[in-house]
Structure 1
Amino acid sequence: MRLSNRTLVVGATVVLTAAVAVTGAGLHLSKSLAGFRQSPKELVDEIWQVIDREYVDATFNGNDWRAVRREYLSREYATPDDAYKAAREMLEKINDPYTRFMDPEQFKSMQIETSGELTGVGITITEDEETNEITVISPIEGSPAADAGLNAKDVIIEIDGTSTKGMDLNEAVGMIRGPVNTSVRLKVRRDNQILNFDIIRARIEIHPVRHSLRETPQGKVGYIRLVQFSSNAAAEMRSAIREFEKENVVGYVLDLRSNPGGLLFSSAEIARMFLRQGTIVSTVNRQGVSDRLQAGRGFLTDKPMVVLIDGGSASASEILAGALQDNGRATLVGTKTFGKGLVQSVQPVGEASGIAVTIAKYLTPSGRDINKKGIEPDIELALTDAQRESLTRDDIGTDKDPQYSQALVILRERIAAGQQQTSQSTTP
């Protein structure tokens, strides 16, 4: 499957702020040939054509897609809003929460989000494929949602007192987003607990890469926390690695916890910085055609590394973690990842709207399909509820963080083993 530079390929998650955006495994923007001097009915037909041409399942999840076209083109649409409503109804028939229509406001918001500029509460949500519940993938680090204490896997059961049972994801998005300095109340189910969160919406400045130098008995270690695969993530990662290499670090801890994903090509570009060669990820479309992204350019370091993952590590995070794990490049520490292995193409339709359509699934280099399964860590270490609640944002990546401390132990072992091997190979 060849991906043009004019298409936005994304994974299967939805970022919720005052704006909404699709994020996960990649992004492709392609200009609509129509340019939208269309009628509302032509917009509905254009959306139908996109699904007919590109949707990953040729059976359209058991729907007679041609009959759907006849049904919706037999109607009359007086306004664009009529067409928007029809588009959403039509896509609901596929029963794929990640294939969705975005009106002009939502589409613009998605484009803003991938540039790393956000306003809102800062949570990444999805509609659970089995239960249809609105579920938190992860809060964005430093966002109002994160500061309020929302966690990955929290199920949103009410928004400002309105039940989310049977609620469409777009409707939930519309209720949660809103102007800066306004509030929203979210009632969530966390395991057997019911919790309420009053969150003040805010402007969220996202720098996807945060890094610092750590002193250890074995030498300097580079700690990198990657919070999102936005358009500037690769550049910031490259800068951090080059800075660390000048400091002669002996190893790296890469922290992907609560990273909901982002751009596919950002993930691949970052993987290439740590992989001299090998497959990064393969995607398979409905014709069974596989396309592989390979390492081989942009390589920066082969120092030992450990990657931290958890249930909030999704989509593009899983691509990177899977590539490093399958190529034997890094040891994964933490808990199983979220399990989003679908690829979407996001493209404009009509005048200023957009559509996200699932076009493929992705496999790790060894051929693992991790959708709904996640990636298992090499070393499993879960935080207790008490540990999770006691950890502040400032504690992440410090000695107060049990998973980070374990990562350092594993990294020291890898560094020592490498130093011993080097010593043996140079002994006359």
Structure 2
Amino acid sequence: MNRLVPLALAALLGLATAPVPAATPAAVAMTQGQTQELIESYARLSSDFYKKVDAQAALDGARTSMIEYLKKKHVANPTLPQARAGGDDARTAEALQREVSTAVAAYAPKLEPADSLSGSTQITYAAITGVLSSVKDRYTVFLTPKEYAALNEGLDGTSFGGVGISYSIDDKTKFLHIENVILDGPSDKAGVLPEDAITAIDGKPVPALLEGATTVELQQKRVTQALRGDPGTRVRLTIQRAGKDLEPVTITRDTIHQPSVASKMLPGAVGYVDLSVFGQTTGAELSTALKRLDAQGAKAYVLDLRYNGGGYLNAAVDVASKFISNGPIVSVQSRAGTDTEYDAENTAIAPRPLAVLVNQYTASASEITAGAIQDAGVGTLVGVKTFGKGVVQTIFPMRDGSAVKITTARYFTPKGRDINSVGIEPEIRSELPKELKGIRMGDPKTDPQLMAALTYVNGRIAQTDGAARPAAATAH
């Protein structure tokens, strides 16, 4: 997602190697790396933010943020002179560098290391945070190395030693109900199937394992500790299938990539696919899930985008292309007014009745997919109005592992709709009552929004079957 720095900004980035103003012997000076990251952050904001940036506001934001941070760290009465923006970006960047250098020299010695960050790094980070917050865009933010690593982990998936299943805990039996089995994973190779129940782990009944765990989080933690382990180690599972106990199966743990797609077949030959995030591998995972459901005879699909806050733009195009055979998916417009249109990638499956579940937490890349499907007329949205995040962010990594995330463009659906702060209205409105918050999503018995989606696709299946059925012969 990196972009080449515009030539006009090359001089700005060159400031990163400029000497820092001399400090007193007791003072602390910014490092060359800190200076470079500060200047590059401003350069990126000035050139790539999707609206014009107020240079003076950026300087004021840096100053205010540094003072607030110092107060938070119990520095008494911190004061900093107000810097003035120059006539161009290069002069403003020089003023910013002087402003932060002054703060570092005066106050870095008074700060204790925090999260392994030196005082000068803490002040530099506070300044960058203030620069970015000056544009008053909730999505334009600074990410510390720890925050950036966590973001990447969420989008790119985590890896761990495990058995390759996703599960829920049955409220009555306390057994583990297997929701999904990762294709070619350890459990799949051992013959474990979705809808199986795990009744014991290494001979210990699951209800006994969960005894005393008073919250779902504690229960899941205990199960995780029992199922996960180093790749190559073994775990013995006692399985129940359709109410009958099977012989315990020994599974050799392997490295598992946390999937972003979970799928299963629902009654009536309806394939259910849940997307948790739009990550690097989501498109490939979805292809695998759809092929498996198609082989099982799926007549229709429900795509669940509830609680999916988005992810990568290219992943949204990839996912939408599985259901849209041709034509535009989304149009992205930069500050310069340049439109970039992303078209379907010619990877669509055979047409089937399709319902897309959405709610107030369906956002960003999820809305790109939902909006494209709705505009193309290949599926029907079910649920409540989506979040309304119609802007695109670009992440610019820094050398120390931190990053700046900047809103660089806004997007429009294929029919030209700007959904930012507006959201997308589903064709079929279905609320989730407050008393059902926290239910197991994806279970037709307890999920009224899923039931509404199933009612729709089953009706479409009936229409399709009726149209395909030959007329009854008339006796003569």
d(CA) in 2 for partners of 1:319, 1:93: 28
Select the residue among 36, 44, 61 that pairs with 2:38. Answer: 44
Deviation at 1:255, TM superposition (A): 1.1
Residue pairs, 1:204-215, within 5 angstroms: 206-215=258-267
Aligned residue runs from structure 1 range 117-266, under 5 A: 117=158, 206-216=258-268, 220-266=269-315
Letter in 1 for 2:448: P
Contact 1:61 1:94 in 2 (8 A): no
Does 1:80 pair with 2:115? no
- Partner of 2:45: helix, strand, or coil? helix
Work out whether residues 332 and 340 of structure 2, in 8 Å CA contact, stay in contact via their aligned partners in 1.
yes
Structure 1 portions without partners, runs of 5+: 9-31, 120-140, 143-196
Task: State the Cα deviation string for residues 281-324 of structure 1 (Å, max 9, x = none).
Answer: 11111011111111142222311111111111111111111111
Q: Which has the higher strand share?
A: 1
398-407 vs 69-78, which deviates more? 69-78
> What is the rounded CA distance, in whole Å, between the counterparts of 2:52 and 2:406 in structure 1?
13
How many Å apart are 1:45 and its aligned residue?
1.1
Corresponding residue for residue 385 of structure 2 = 336
Is the CA contact 2:357–2:449 (under 8 Å) kept in the aligned structure 1?
Answer: yes
Q: 1:7 to 1:396 in 2, by over 3 A?
A: farther
Task: Evaluate the alpha carbon distance shift between residue 251 and residue 362 of structure 1 in structure 2; reply closer, same or farther with a 3 A threshold.
Answer: same
Kept in 2: contact 1:40–1:82 (CA 8 A): no
AA partner of residue 392 (structure 1): I
Alignment-mate amino acid for residue 259 of structure 2: H
Partner of 1:411: 457
Secondary structure in 1 matching 2:32: coil
Across the two proteins, how many residue pairs are aligned to each other? 319
Distance change (3 Å), C-alpha of 1:112 and 1:336 = same
1:392 has 2:436 as partner: no
| Cross-structure match for 2:151 | 110
Tell me the CA shift for residue 227 of structure 1.
Answer: 1.5
Higher radius of gyration, 1 or 2: 2
Q: After superposition, what is the alpha-carbon deviation per residue over 1:156-183, rounded to whole angstroms, capped at 9, x for unaligned?
A: xxxxxxxxxxxxxxxxxxxxxxxxxxxx
Q: Is 1:309 matched with 2:309?
A: no
SS at match of 1:274: coil
1:87-106 aligned within 5 A: 87-106=128-147
How many Å apart are 1:333 and its aligned residue?
0.7
Distance 2:444 2:142 in 1: 42
Between structures 1 and 2, the one with greater helix share: 2
Are the equivalent residues in 2 in contact too, given 1:34–1:350 (CA < 8 A)?
no
Consecutive unaligned residues of structure 2, counting only runs of 5 or more, are 5-12, 18-30, 60-84, 87-91, 106-119, 161-166, 169-214, 226-256
Over the matched positions of the two proteins, sequence identity in percent amounts to 30
Aligned-partner SS, 2:385: coil
2:427 maps to 1:378 = yes
Aligned to 1:58: 52
- Determine if contact 1:273/1:301 at 8 Å carries over to the other structure: no
The residue matched to 1:224 in structure 2 has which SS?
strand
Q: State the shift of 1:91 in Å.
A: 1.5
8 Å contact from structure 2 (residues 58, 132) kept in 1: no
Deviation at 1:405, TM superposition (A): 1.1
Q: How much has 1:363 moved relative to structure 2?
A: 1.0
Tell me if the contact between 1:226 and 1:259 (Cα under 8 Å) persists in the aligned partners.
Answer: yes
Separation in 2, partners of 1:35, 1:110: 27
- Asked whether the equivalents of residues 306 and 333 of structure 1 are also in contact (C-alpha less than 8 Å), the reply is yes
2:310 counterpart letter in structure 1:
G
- In the alignment, the residues of structure 2 paired with residue 245 and residue 34 of structure 1 have an alpha-carbon distance, to the nearest angstrom, of 57
Specify which structure has the bigger relative contact order, considering alpha-carbon pairs within 8 angstroms and separated by 6 or more residues.
1
Kindly provide the amino acid, as one letter, of the partner of residue 213 in structure 1.
Answer: M
Aligned to 2:267, the other structure's residue is in SS state strand
- When residues 60 and 334 of structure 1 are mapped into structure 2, their CA distance, relative to the original with a 3 A threshold, is farther
| 2:413 is the counterpart of 1:364 | yes
Partner of 2:426, secondary structure, is coil
RMSD between superposed Cα atoms in Å:
3.4
Q: TM-score, normalised by structure 2?
A: 0.60
Distance in 2, matches of 1:397 and 1:233, equals 22
Normalised to the residue count of structure 1, the TM-score between the two structures is 0.67
Distance in 2 of aligned mates of 1:61 and 1:369: 28
* Residue aligned with 1:399, SS: coil
